[in-house]
Chain A
Amino acid sequence: MSAPTESHQPLAVHTAALVKNYGRGDNLVQALKSVDFEARCGELLMIVGPSGCGKTTLLSVICGTLGYDSGSAAIFGRDLASMSSAQLTAFRGRNVGFIFQQFNLIPSWTALENVSVPLLLNGVGRAKAEKASAALLAEVGLQDKLKVRPGQLSGGQQQRVAIARAIVHEPRLLICDEPTAALDAASGRKVLELLKQRACRPDRCVIIVTHDSRIFSFADRIAEMEDGQIKAVHGTGDTQKLYV
């Protein structure tokens, strides 16, 4: 970790010598080979690198959806290994928001219902949850799509619903895996603008895995991965180097 960080900000995610293998014996794949990684509150950090280098695996481990083999991983100072799977699930529900490449909006639910899920899972009542969700959908410009199902929305609109769902419960960590991969250039840009505007806050850390060099300029820092390891971390100033 050579690049400068805003070290006055508290640590959001921290891993040390993190190792994750898939399979065993002849089929063993070393997806993460001793990864030291940190992300701080208030920053938008991107993880980039060639396909298969372990970006998704790293993301899955640091948000507590995937176990790891050795090393350590902590979110907001809580060691992931110290939590039971039920504790981890509850912790994720409170502290982590997700944006996926495939959106993963539930097709039979309306936009409003999809957005209110994290609140419902956190025990908020239906009326209150839907009120907050409607307000947020209005903020992302979908006030007239509350009762519409995802199938009737464009990709960009669906991803905006997904953004609303990811932040409606005010999580401290936002995890995005290729949020623009399924979108055209213009929609992708809009999504990033929206993320920068609505999701980035001093007390929140946003981590985005991406291939999409068009959106690199939105990053505060960029971690470059290769073959299961972090190769380099670039600060705001030197992201230009990554544009090939």
Chain B
Amino acid sequence: MLRLALKMLYGDRAKYMMLVCGLSFCALLMSQQISVFCGLLLWTNATVRNIRVPVWVADAKVEQVNEVVPMREIEVQRVRSVSGVEWAVPLYWSLLQTRLPDGTFQAVQLTGIDSATLVGRPTKMRAGNVEDLRLPNAVIVDQVAIAKFAKRGIALKLGSTFEINDKEARVVGICETERSFLGQPYVFTTYSRALEYSPPQRKLLSFVLVQPKPSVSIPELLARISAMGGLRAFSSDQLKWDTFMWYVKNTGIPISFGTVVILGIVVGIAIAGQTFYLFVHENLRFMAALKAMGAGFGTLAQMVFLQAFTVGFTGYGIGVGIAALFGNAVLKKGEPPFYMPWQVLVFTGVIILLICCLSAFVGLLKIARTEAAMVFK
């Protein structure tokens, strides 16, 4: 009977197509929008991913990586004194204006790394040498800087110069970074030179980057550092997550994406639910005939659920497939953001499943209420 139930479904080609299209659209809308949302939020913690160290220490008031409360430099020494710390180095990070040769300005994320160890150095170099950062006035710019400057007609290359706060910066390397939420290019230099570029202030240290000793567990070390008072230590995963969640809680991003996702669900329920209801309604007379001929409620329920799940699976596959193709295409371009973890697939699947169950349930209710005697009409 189940094989025949499927034939019944495929037999009504117009409704079958409409059901599959509706559910595909719903799955596509949901998975694509959630993926863009995840991608966008992933951009927010790009700095953590660009500077790969296990432990970050910041002022106790800091909640996420893009928010800096400057500390005194002495904090580096304090952190070094904590038992279990293998090494600790300073990091400067701030948004600064650069002045281009044509007199226009461009904001950059100036990132100053420890000049002795170069901890936090760019991981992927397109040109030049990270060690050259120790040369006078040297900076390394990322691919975003190249693109932004190119838009103004300036071809940045090794040896090019521009100004940061009236002080010269000379490009000694070009690196690749993970794109950030702020969209501003990363400019790497040494910590001490970053202080020269930045406007004079009493406190300039943004973060202390820490490598724990192998003998100590990270949570334990975090607790020890935070216990010193005035400081807050994060593991890199925790800082990523806190940053992610900070944007979820403090911006309108989740609401705008949530609206589209809910829209997707509503469209899915409206199209799929209604079409399925129509499908059941049109087949009601045949269902009643089967009932008269001895098909029990269990058999009819199996048939209806099989029909609903078949369109559900097909629609889900097509929708998520298209979303993945879209993601594949945009990831090559780098924009818009896209990140589709398995949770997105599960979530979308569960919603589609719920829509199918709901439709099947409503259809079954209709069938249950129908007297088998209606076939004589």
Contacts and interface: CB of A to CB of B under 8 A. Distances in A.
Interface of A: 56, 59-60, 63, 65-66, 86, 89-94, 96, 98, 100-102, 104, 106-109, 113, 117-118, 120-122, 126, 177
B232 interface: no
Contacts of A117: 1, 4, 290, 293
B7 to A, nearest CB: 5
B153 interface: no
Interface string B1-40: 1011001101110000000000000000000000000000
Interface in B322-377: 371-373, 375-377
Contact of A108 (B11, B291, B296, B371): B11
A63 B372 CA distance: 10
B155 to A, nearest CB: 66
Nearest to A91: B294
Contacts of B165: none
Given A65-B292, A109-B8, A118-B293, A100 B1 contact: no
A94 B294 contact: yes
B286 A104 contact: yes
Nearest to B294: A93
B87 interface: no
Contacts of A104: 285-286, 289, 375
Contact of A107 (B11, B373, B376): B11
A36 to B, nearest CB: 21
B299 interface: yes
Contact of A90 (B1, B3, B4, B294): B294
Contacts of B11: 107-109
B8 A86 contact: no
B297 interface: yes
Chain B's interface: helix, strand, loop or mixed, by majority? Answer: helix
B291 A100 contact: no
B281 to A, nearest CB: 15
B286 A106 contact: yes
A56 B376 contact: yes
Q: 6 nearest interchain CB pairs?
A: A93-B294, A108-B11, A60-B373, A65-B372, A66-B373, A104-B289
Q: Which of A60, A63, A177 gathers most chain B CB within 10 Å?
A: A60
B182 interface: no
B376 A92 contact: no
A65 B371 contact: yes
B293 A109 contact: no
A11 to B, nearest CB: 22
B253 interface: no
Contacts of B294: 89-94, 96, 118, 121-122
Contacts of B1: 117, 120-121
A98 B292 contact: yes
Nearest to A103: B289
Contacts of A120: 1, 4
Contacts of A106: 4, 8, 286, 289
Nearest to A85: B297
Contacts of A66: 371-373
B35 to A, nearest CB: 38
B297 A92 contact: no
A7 B34 CA distance: 76
Contacts of B12: 108
Contacts of B376: 56, 59-60, 65, 100-101, 177
Contacts of A90: 294, 296
8 contacts: A65-B291, A65-B375, A89-B297, A100-B375, A113-B4, A118-B294, A120-B4, A177-B376
B293 A93 contact: yes
Interface in B279-335: 285-286, 289-297, 299
Nearest to A95: B294
B4 A109 contact: yes
Nearest to B293: A118
Given A66-B371, A106-B286, A113 B7 contact: yes
